[in-house]
Structure 1
Amino acid sequence: MKRFLSLIVALLLTSSSAPDHCAAATFIEAASCWPDTGGDDLNRRVGFRVALQRLPPGSVLRIATSGLYRASVDGQFVGHGPARAGHGHFRIDEWSLDSSASSGTSVVAIEVAASTARSFYMVKQQPFLQAEVVCDGKVLAATPGFQAIDLHPVVVRKVPRYSYQRTFTEVFQPTPGWNAAWRSVAEWDGPVMKLAQTPSFPLAERGVPYPKFKVIDSTSVASGTFRVLPKPPKRRYYGFHPENFGDFPQQELQARPDLMMSSLQPTSLDPGPTGDLIQPGTFHLHDFGKNLSGFLGFRLRAERPAKLLVTFDELRTGPKETVDPHRMKCVNAILIELPAGTYTIETIEPYTLRYLQLHALDGAVTLEGNYLRELAHPHAGRATFASSDPRLDRIFTAAGQTFRQNATDIFMDCPSRERAGWLCDSFFTARVEANLTGAMAVERNFLENYAQPAKFPGLVSGMLPMCYPMDPNEGRYIPNWAMWFVLQLEEYEARTGDRALVDQLRPKVEALFDFFKRFENSDGLLENLEEWVFVEWSEANNLVQDVNYPSNMLYAAALDSASKLFGREDWRVKADALRSTINDQAFDGTFYRDHAVRRPDGELDIRPDRTEVCQYYAFFFLVATPESRPKLWRTLVEEFGPHRRETKAHPEIYPCNQLPGNMLRIEILSRERETASIYDEAIGYWHSMAMTTGTLWEHDQPTASCNHGFASHAAVVLYRDILGIRSIDYQEKSIVFFLPDNPLRHCRGSLPTPDGDIIVEWNRDGGDPKIALPPGWSDQLPGGNYTH
């Protein structure tokens, strides 16, 4: 446990964006407060500011809030947050304040966006801000001693939801000079809102490193013309659920960027760099070079009133190779309505994109600058990988990009459509964090969030949220994902030795298995699981009732993991019995069948449907082994994989997809050290993704998120199966290395640990592998050239 805690502290101290100490889990004087709005806080944007004389060096700003915030000093960006926590809990951020006006008056400003709506992204909670400026233990300012500024209508409040999973779109109606004034002018003479004290909440340390917020400029690559359709086609991604999610009723909306983006139809595209001026009826297409995530910024000038609609996406899949903002079923649009003047506008919500289009709907707009301020994990670049095959190097770079954008404070599925902390995805991404950063700080926060609340509002007792923090719409959950939580918890303890958190979560694990008992049939199998039974994004998801064998394979594995974690022999016995029963019922002599249905006479009818992913579940969860099913194993190794679309082998077996089928396939190949196959299949699965977006995808086709956290597990595959570091034991400080069987001529990789880097290098043209280990570390196998 001590080793784990020192690892967390070491990581926090290395972030250049954080002060030179960890954020405290308490305030000295600050009290939580919020403007007196009468409870009318849906999508409320408030600015908090305080002017300080001679802000001394070493000053820090502490913040906790229920919404998103952006902090600045004298108008200069300081930081964004918070790190998310479970229901009723909040984490404190702490930012160094470097004021250019240290000899005069400085303005510390905090913009808070409180959606106060349900989502898969953040928890709906009473809005508040608690903040203070401190230097050497002395409080220089504290809430409620800040001025509160109503940021509407400069930011339009009553707007559509961005996506089903996230909250609201952003529409700007700026006034010249106003935005800069409230952030930086010492004497504010505008209207202020009356602050009221709000209830206090349990507070916790941030726990994860602070992002660096690198600013990246886009490059203009084309321009074109568009027409506005008189009647835009109807889209389903904005569903209007005011009763369930807290959206605004349609009749109250003040702006409709969703309808505007649906109305635009490109009519021409002229490749090549563009000038700064965007004429009415034209658009400019920009490229950031690869998929990035963060806050979009625009430096704009309008000689007369103008209207600019910005659309964006990860790909160019629209007409004439333009941006299709509808591809992700999100409102990938930002509307900016400009009076004459010059403006700098930056979103407070993060977005994911490679390409964006700027459409001048009305009036000409001069684009003086366009940038993205990254929101990403700061330490993923510490790990390296280089080989004689540039395709593998590109995959590694893409895996690192994918991880850093999906691991800011929790493990997310994607940084775009949802930004949600999904289980199952997190099982794979947690392994990546250890490899790329040498720490498990994000994983601890992710799991700790599940431990914080006594219960999960809106969810049936005993079940765990499918993603968290979130508010389940109509109590929806994925029973399978709760089982993956148990598997991840077992690996977390092995990585960290953090028994305290594991024991804290024990009651929730026990309640989960009590919940599942009600679905066990006379054979001990789960039958008629409720809600969203999820196996994979493939035909397998249509074969989940009444008895789904992949779900029961996962159930057996979860029971096994829990048995090891908590010494429950009864769970291990139940897991063994489940595997035996599945083999008796599901295996047809050639493949495993996916499901059985209950006939009117009460007997189970085992259906003939068979999917590729079901076979991978069987081997990954040890229902089958190469020894117990040798013929099936060889069939899977030799006749399945990324090339089956071309070979059309076994057309009667429904193909699998990326999440999690392709990844499970790689995992079972790795277990049997089929490294030559993994070399070929890693390129087959992931290289085209890396080339297209610079990130790795949710599906094996570009039909959904092209930046999906679990897919960064490709980095683990490259280290383990291509470089040859079979395992890393962070507790015992040891590695296991085997020279893999693949056609590479040479390969080198470095992985950070709290004690220094692990470096492995080999060259088939001569010499033994070289393994350099940090002090106190060892290789479990003899041989090779070692430097310590």
Structure 2
Amino acid sequence: MSSDILFDQGKPVWPDVAIGQMNQHVIFRTSLNNLEFKNPAIRITGVTFYKIFINNEFLYYGPSRSPSEVSKVREIDLTKYLDQELNNLISIEVIGHNVNGYGMSYQAPFLQAEIINNSEVVKATSASSKDFISYMPNYKEQKVSRYSFQRPFVEAYALNQNSFDWKTKNDFEFDKEILQEIKEVKLVKDYVPTPDFSIKESLGTCSIGKFTIKPSIQEPYKNRFIDNIGDALLGFKREALTSVLTDEITLIDIIETHELPEMDKSASSLKPKEFSIVSMGENSSGFIRSKVKVLKKSRLYITFDEILSDGNVNHFRLNTGSIIRYDLEPGEYALESLEPYTFQFIQYYLFDGELEIQATSLRNLVCDDVKRVLFKSSDQELNLLFEAGINTFKQNVVDIFMDCPSRERAGWLCDSFFMGRAEIVLTGSNKVEFEFLRNFALAENFKNISDGMLPMNFPGDQFDGRYIPNWAMWFVVELEEYYNRTGDSALVENLKTKVENLMHFFEKYINEFGLLEKLDSWIFIEWSKANEFLQDVNYPSNMCYGETLKAAGRLYQNNDWIAKGQRVKEVVLEKSFNGEFFIDNAIREKGELINTENTTETCQYYAFFFGVVSADSHPKLWNTMVESFGPTRDYDSVYPNVHKSNAFIGSLLRIDLLGQNNLIEKQVNEIKGYYLSMAKKTKTFWEMDDTHASLNHGFASHICFSFIRDVLGIQINYLTKEISWNLKDVPFDNIDLILPIGDETLKINLKNDKDQIYYSHSDVSEYKISVNNISGKALIKL
């Protein structure tokens, strides 16, 4: 089987008794001693996820996600982790979900690994060798519900002082499992930068309180991720569950909550029916860590969320079961969740027993490549916004572009378009975007959706056949921008057949005017009324389709696609624009296509963003958009029949359009109007303009791109190696900026006085830097 990396000896293995089972927790152990270490390394891949420990110290979490018929191999240098004087214990903890979801492929679990020393394999997984010994602990409950519709299982544990001996004791005795080699998949090299796994301490306890326990579950918690288990959504059906954490947590009846006057960093002692709430100070993503001293046998529930709701954690706010349960024998524990989560607040509930929460922290699972970027201006609100953009970006960009690191951890198209722009300015490259797009190229086909269509999020497997045709269009538009940023013609060529098949897919929906009509499945414009005016001809979809055709034509030198795309835009303008606004949709009545009166703010933004019109061609509409719409608009009195936009994606398109048209002061003010309250509450940007959905959504990190391209006027051509700094009369007094460019950085300093601007910049190897003064002030180089 063709592979980038061939294991010399390692084979994909899994315990015989666990094959075909869901939610299996498996440990693999080996040891290294009596060796003179020379360039030691481990090659590893697996399904679904693994954690590596060496001598009880965390090393790595992986793998990077991939299509179901492919697995990505990581080679990790072990030099600084092995001790020549010790019998080094290497433990690999694997969770094999064996279910479908939005954030990972449906694939049979396995582990494949080998350890190399001095260019020779010294340990390898196989069914016949004794190099790696397998153990299946019984302390993690298997038959529990999913965490969400999009993600696999919640976590429930029954622990004693010996539960984690598998990673601390070489002489640990256990029942060894018989390993079976499973079917090999295609192996490819993992190019994702190593994530940041550092430890982030909490700020301390912010609230304490008491609760009672109801005598019985009055009404089971209902949600599709519990009650709709079947062929389309894999998991354990309710009647098979040995625990239902989402029901158990409903027994809690909070009777008092006390907010502490200041954060308490000391240990929090809990007795039965007491709780404490710990704050991270900002939205954070990774593995929940709790240092706990158990005085009496205890049942502890941990719940978590991005905000507090009426002073407490609402563990169901995101339509998730944001709950972990621990049954703990007396002793001291260093607990760490097996799965990554997103939260700002953790609420500990003690049902019975007695214990101390001695410390709460998080093991980060975030992008490490943002550490070089710096944005420090005299405007503290802008600094906060840029920091929130970085926080949002790094938590959503680990191995793929994700919509959110909480509810889904899924690689959604459209969101990815905006993150691709953010990645290049925040990291100096598009390494993760390459992996994200490469996954589409690696897939032999896309299961469970119509031939030619692309999945709406990937890697992931939805068995219900659902897709978003619009998101496939955004894929093509993103691919062109990726090519223009990177010049990666190889990946573009590898995706050519899939793009051609997509263009062919849309042909069956083309009506007599050349427009798409009666698209199937989930048509998505944005989270607003725009998502209700979808049939029979949706004009925003056709605006996007026109640009998709042109982008595909430019990528693959297809003039027919380019001409067809231009014609689509012209027809949309002819039919949708009524002289004042673009109408959202038309319906078919007695064979005639009749425009409705449905009008949305977002439809106007689509028209400008996709080049159907411009500020020059339609100045009246443009001026109406600029002056009458936006975050301060009174929706009841100002164009009440034009339905407002939401954060995803109308508001962001507006921000981008203001920047493109050099309305910088207004752009900055509206960025503050839309996003500043988000940054203050969570230090991340949200999916919508209220708190009922994700409060950490990757697409909105695009704000950082707007700050660089628009506010500061810095445009970088990474192919021709040209940096153009269009110096503007910026709406702040000074700024220090460090911008990653490849392996180097561009350092900029600017001071803005009444009549003159002082500036300086560093050099970047091989790059030509030009400074253009469009500020109207005198320019003085420092």
Interval of TM-score (by shorter of Structure 1 and Structure 2): over 0.9
Whether the 8 Å CA contact 1:478–1:532 is kept in 2: the answer is: yes
Whether the 8 Å CA contact 1:723–1:749 is kept in 2: the answer is: no
User: CA 1:451–1:486 in 2, change beyond 3 Å: closer, same or farther?
Assistant: same
Work out which of the residue numbers 199, 211, 217 in structure 2 matches 1:215. Answer: 199
Q: What does the per-residue CA deviation read over 1:561-608, in whole Å, with 9 as the maximum and x for residues that have no partner?
A: 001100111111111111111111111111110001111x11112100
Q: Any gaps of 5 or more consecutive residues in structure 2?
A: 774-778
Q: Which has the higher mean CA deviation after the structures are superposed, 209-218 or 353-362? A: 209-218
Which residue of the partner structure matches residue 757 of structure 1?
745
Q: Which amino acid aligns with 2:10?
A: A
Which residue of the partner structure matches residue 651 of structure 2?
662
1:406-445 equivalences in 2 (<5 Å): 406-445=396-435
Which residue of the partner structure matches residue 16 of structure 1?
none
Whether the 8 Å CA contact 2:145–2:226 is kept in 1: the answer is: no
Q: What does the per-residue CA deviation read over 1:263-304, in whole Å, with 9 as the maximum and x for residues that have no partner?
A: 323221112237421111010100011111000112222222
Whether the 8 Å CA contact 2:135–2:174 is kept in 1: the answer is: no
Whole-angstrom distance in 1 between the partners of 2:728 and 2:636: 27
Which residue of the partner structure matches residue 13 of structure 1?
none
Whole-angstrom distance in 2 between the partners of 1:773 and 1:61: 39
What TM-score do you get using the length of structure 2 for normalisation? 0.94
Work out which of the residue numbers 88, 94, 101 in structure 1 matches 2:69. Answer: 88
User: CA 1:782–1:472 in 2, change beyond 3 Å: closer, same or farther?
Assistant: same
Deviation at 1:217? 1.9
1:520-539 equivalences in 2 (<5 Å): 520-539=510-529
Whole-angstrom distance in 2 between the partners of 1:337 and 1:775: 58
Work out which of the residue numbers 623, 636, 652 in structure 1 matches 2:625. Answer: 636
Q: Which amino acid aligns with 2:735?
A: C
Q: Which has the higher mean CA deviation after the structures are superposed, 761-770 or 497-506? A: 761-770
Which residue of the partner structure matches residue 294 of structure 1?
286
| 2:87 counterpart of 1:105 | yes
Whether the 8 Å CA contact 1:315–1:355 is kept in 2: the answer is: yes
DSSP-derived class of the 2:320 partner:
coil
Whole-angstrom distance in 1 between the partners of 2:581 and 2:122: 70
Whether the 8 Å CA contact 1:147–1:193 is kept in 2: the answer is: no
Whole-angstrom distance in 1 between the partners of 2:7 and 2:344: 40
Whole-angstrom distance in 2 between the partners of 1:590 and 1:322: 48
Work out which of the residue numbers 4, 10, 15 in structure 2 matches 1:35. Answer: 15
Q: Which has the higher mean CA deviation after the structures are superposed, 189-198 or 235-244? A: 235-244
Q: Which has the higher mean CA deviation after the structures are superposed, 396-405 or 204-213? A: 204-213
Whole-angstrom distance in 1 between the partners of 2:17 and 2:669: 60
Whole-angstrom distance in 2 between the partners of 1:417 and 1:571: 38
1:196-211 equivalences in 2 (<5 Å): 196-211=180-195
Which residue of the partner structure matches residue 15 of structure 1?
none
Whole-angstrom distance in 1 between the partners of 2:608 and 2:772: 31
| 2:337 counterpart of 1:347 | yes
Whole-angstrom distance in 1 between the partners of 2:374 and 2:529: 37
Which residue of the partner structure matches residue 182 of structure 1?
166
DSSP-derived class of the 2:599 partner:
coil
Whole-angstrom distance in 2 between the partners of 1:148 and 1:557: 55
Whole-angstrom distance in 1 between the partners of 2:296 and 2:604: 64
1:304-343 equivalences in 2 (<5 Å): 304-317=296-309, 319=310, 321-343=311-333
User: CA 1:761–1:647 in 2, change beyond 3 Å: closer, same or farther?
Assistant: farther
| 2:576 counterpart of 1:586 | yes
Which residue of the partner structure matches residue 45 of structure 2?
64
1:384-463 equivalences in 2 (<5 Å): 384-463=374-453
Deviation at 1:199? 1.6
Whole-angstrom distance in 2 between the partners of 1:306 and 1:578: 65
Work out which of the residue numbers 235, 240, 250 in structure 1 matches 2:222. Answer: 235
User: CA 1:448–1:100 in 2, change beyond 3 Å: closer, same or farther?
Assistant: closer
Whole-angstrom distance in 2 between the partners of 1:694 and 1:626: 34
Q: What does the per-residue CA deviation read over 1:368-408, in whole Å, with 9 as the maximum and x for residues that have no partner?
A: 22211000011112111121210000000010011111110
User: CA 1:107–1:24 in 2, change beyond 3 Å: closer, same or farther?
Assistant: farther
Whole-angstrom distance in 1 between the partners of 2:541 and 2:552: 16
Whether the 8 Å CA contact 1:377–1:405 is kept in 2: the answer is: yes
Whether the 8 Å CA contact 1:535–1:551 is kept in 2: the answer is: yes
| 2:116 counterpart of 1:134 | yes
DSSP-derived class of the 2:394 partner:
helix
Whether the 8 Å CA contact 1:213–1:375 is kept in 2: the answer is: yes
User: CA 1:153–1:712 in 2, change beyond 3 Å: closer, same or farther?
Assistant: same
Which residue of the partner structure matches residue 4 of structure 1?
none
CA RMSD of aligned residues (A): 1.8
Q: Any gaps of 5 or more consecutive residues in structure 1?
A: 1-22
| 2:262 counterpart of 1:281 | no
* Percent identical residues: 35
Q: What does the per-residue CA deviation read over 1:621-680, in whole Å, with 9 as the maximum and x for residues that have no partner?
A: 111111221111000011111111478421111000011101111111122111111011
Which residue of the partner structure matches residue 139 of structure 2?
154
Which residue of the partner structure matches residue 776 of structure 2?
none
Q: What does the per-residue CA deviation read over 1:55-113, in whole Å, with 9 as the maximum and x for residues that have no partner?
A: 54442222110210000011111111111112211111223334464313111010000
User: CA 1:324–1:645 in 2, change beyond 3 Å: closer, same or farther?
Assistant: farther
Whole-angstrom distance in 1 between the partners of 2:511 and 2:138: 58
User: CA 1:461–1:24 in 2, change beyond 3 Å: closer, same or farther?
Assistant: closer
Whether the 8 Å CA contact 2:297–2:329 is kept in 1: the answer is: yes
Aligned length: 760
Work out which of the residue numbers 555, 558, 563 in structure 2 matches 1:573. Answer: 563
Whole-angstrom distance in 1 between the partners of 2:703 and 2:6: 39
1:591-740 equivalences in 2 (<5 Å): 591-599=581-589, 601-645=590-634, 648-725=637-714, 727-740=715-728
Whole-angstrom distance in 1 between the partners of 2:606 and 2:70: 36
DSSP-derived class of the 2:568 partner:
helix
**Which structure features the higher share of strand residues?**
2
User: CA 1:56–1:754 in 2, change beyond 3 Å: closer, same or farther?
Assistant: farther
DSSP-derived class of the 2:700 partner:
helix
DSSP-derived class of the 2:727 partner:
coil
Which residue of the partner structure matches residue 254 of structure 2?
266
DSSP-derived class of the 1:178 partner:
coil
Q: Which amino acid aligns with 2:351?
A: L
Q: What does the per-residue CA deviation read over 1:301-348, in whole Å, with 9 as the maximum and x for residues that have no partner?
A: 22222100000000011x3x1111111110011011112222222112
DSSP-derived class of the 2:207 partner:
strand
Whole-angstrom distance in 1 between the partners of 2:9 and 2:267: 52
Whole-angstrom distance in 1 between the partners of 2:650 and 2:160: 51
Whether the 8 Å CA contact 1:394–1:690 is kept in 2: the answer is: yes
Deviation at 1:128? 1.1
Whole-angstrom distance in 2 between the partners of 1:192 and 1:147: 10
Work out which of the residue numbers 169, 180, 184 in structure 1 matches 2:154. Answer: 169
User: CA 1:148–1:173 in 2, change beyond 3 Å: closer, same or farther?
Assistant: farther
Work out which of the residue numbers 483, 488, 491 in structure 2 matches 1:498. Answer: 488
Deviation at 1:759? 2.3
DSSP-derived class of the 2:563 partner:
helix
Whole-angstrom distance in 1 between the partners of 2:436 and 2:415: 12
